[in-house]
Structure 1
Amino acid sequence: MSYSKPKPPSRGPSKPRIALDALLEDPAGNPIRRALWLDELDRRLRPYLPPSLAAHARLANFERGRLVYVVDAPVWRAKLRLAAPELLDAARSVGLEAAEFVVKTTIPMPAAAPVRKAKPMSAATQEALQAALASLKKPDPSGPSDAG
């Protein structure tokens, strides 16, 4: 029986890459790179938000000089508009050419909508429904008619 040393792992082109790194190298990774950049920008600008507002506002986009924030209720929208000058200055301080400030409000998702019970059908409605279903099931004995 012979024992041999295991081969050291190769460092060549077959070395596995981290999935995210591989995706970011691809042109399809542009939206991911942009999302990561916006997330980092949000983290850099977050300290300039009033503390009561920070949990309700998030940077959504920056494009062509527009700094766009999203808030979760109209009351936070009004409060964020008051903080707009400081946020624009902060954005400029990190190298953005921010000239416009936009705040949008998200539509809150309702909790669990109550399930409504269906109203019972009247006897006349039930009879009409049964007749309609029966007419769909019966084949026409005369076959297709050619009038004319």
Structure 2
Amino acid sequence: MSDSKSKPRRAGTAQPALQAAMTDAATDPVRRAMWLDALEQQLRPCLPPALAPHCRLANVAGTRLVFIVDSPVWRARLRLAAPELINAAQSIGLAVTEVTAKTTLAPSSPPVGAQEMAKPVSEVARKGLKSALDLLSEPVSADPSTPQGGHRRRPKN
């Protein structure tokens, strides 16, 4: 048998999830993610308004700011905004000298007005759907006048 003893449980209240994560071995990745998020919030105002929804800060790798963008078009626009981003990053104490961008296929945020793109159903379409549902919900009769298979044909208007 081993001589190891289990650690006694601490009495008291449960720790909040974030506080528990910060005291765990996973502290460094969590702290880095929080730092990158705070850094992105500081740099986002320096981005052109049209570019901001299409890119996000992914990493600070040595002397590079690494952004993720939606498409090559936004990558080119980020390249044009690089000098201003570098100046802003240096003003808050980072020793960065370049900006790089990685292109992803998935958008970084849902499209603005995605709910507005759905068109309401017209009254004609609504009536057509209702009549189709009514036909589907009618019971199948054993009437000899109905065609084989039990489905009745709707009279033409």
Alignment TM-score, normalising by the size of structure 2: 0.59
Offset at 1:13? 5.1
Partner residue of 2:92?
94
Q: Does 1:51 align with 2:49?
A: yes
Letter in 2 for 1:22: A
| Aligned length in residues | 98
Offset at 1:16? 2.1
Offset at 1:108? 3.5
Distance 1:66 1:13 in 2: 46
Q: Which runs of 5+ in 1 are unaligned?
A: 1-11, 110-148
Offset at 1:38? 0.5
Letter in 2 for 1:107: L
Q: 1:68 aligns with which of 41, 63, 66?
A: 66
Cα deviation digits, residues 50-95 of structure 1 (max 9, x gap): 0000000100100211100110011111011000000000001111
Q: What SS does structure 2 have at the residue aligned with 1:69?
A: strand
Q: What SS does structure 2 have at the residue aligned with 1:51?
A: coil
Cα deviation digits, residues 9-49 of structure 1 (max 9, x gap): xxx95232111101111121211111111111001000000
Partner residue of 2:80?
82
Partner residue of 2:105?
107
Q: Which moved more, 1:93-102 or 1:83-92?
A: 93-102
Runs of 4+ displaced beyond 6 Å? none
Matches within 5 A, 1:8-27: 14-27=12-25
Alignment TM-score, normalising by the size of structure 1: 0.62
Q: 2:31 aligns with which of 33, 49, 53?
A: 33
Q: Which runs of 5+ in 2 are unaligned?
A: 1-9, 108-157
Change (3 A) 1:81 1:22: same
Distance 1:89 1:43 in 2: 15
Distance 2:103 2:77 in 1: 12
Letter in 2 for 1:84: A
Distance 2:11 2:33 in 1: 29
Letter in 1 for 2:23: E
